[in-house]
């Protein structure tokens, strides 16, 4: 059973464009939604996170939009740069124990120069 569904699997965006990655969840007990960024050969690293009491959080070129009623959240990367090329994982906390994260399957983003 996939608790967090992420789409698309892969994405190609032109430099300067907007990258959008979507996630949907099923469990209403989830209360923390981070996005992790992973470069080849490295471990994932926290990029940005949101809690369900706000609908949007922005940090630089990265924005999370959160729709509690639809149980969906998305990552927007404005002015995408080749250096943003990486795999992005959405995640949610609160399912099996308050300490663990359930991850989406990841989106491989390629920003072409």
Partner 1 sequence: DAGVIQSPRHEVTEMGQEVTLRCKPISGHDYLFWYRQTMMRGLELLIYFNNNVPIDDSGMPEDRFSAKMPNASFSTLKIQPSEPRDSAVYFCATRLAVGTDTQYFGPGTRLTVL
CB of 7 to partner 1, least distance (A): 13
Total binding residues toward partner 1, as defined by CB under 8 A: 22
> 3-state DSSP call for residue 83?
helix
Helix (H) or strand (E) holding 64: strand 62-67
How far, rounded to the nearest angstrom, does the alpha carbon of residue 77 sit from its chain's CA centroid?
10
How far is the C-alpha of 62 from the C-alpha of 75, rounded, in Å?
7
Is there binding between residue 101 and partner 1 (CB under 8 A)? Answer: yes
Is there binding between residue 83 and partner 1 (CB under 8 A)? Answer: no
CB of 5 to partner 1, least distance (A): 11
The single residue among 41, 60, 83, 113 that binds partner 1, judged by CB under 8 A, is 41
Is there binding between residue 47 and partner 1 (CB under 8 A)? Answer: no
Considering beta carbons, is residue 101 or 109 the nearer one to partner 1? Answer: 101
Closest by CA to 30, choosing from 84, 58, 68, 1, is: 68
Where do runs of H (alpha helix) occur along 1-113?
Answer: none
User: In the complex, which residues of this chain contact partner 1 (CB under 8 A)?
Assistant: 32, 34, 36, 41-46, 49, 89, 93, 96-97, 99-106
């Amino acid at each position: 059973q996939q608790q967090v569904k992420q789409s698309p699997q892969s994405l190609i965006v032109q430099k300067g464009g907007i990258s959008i990655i979507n996630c949907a969840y099923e469990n209403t007990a989830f209360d923390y939604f981070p996005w992790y960024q992973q470069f080849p050969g490295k471990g994932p690293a926290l990029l940005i996170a949101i809690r369900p009491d706000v609908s949007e959080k922005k940090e630089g070129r990265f924005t999370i939009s959160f729709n509690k009623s639809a149980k969906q959240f998305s990552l927007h990367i404005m002015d995408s740069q080749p250096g943003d090329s990486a795999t992005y994982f959405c995640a949610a906390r609160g399912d099996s124990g308050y300490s663990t994260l359930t991850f989406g399957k990841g989106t491989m983003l390629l920003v072409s120069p």
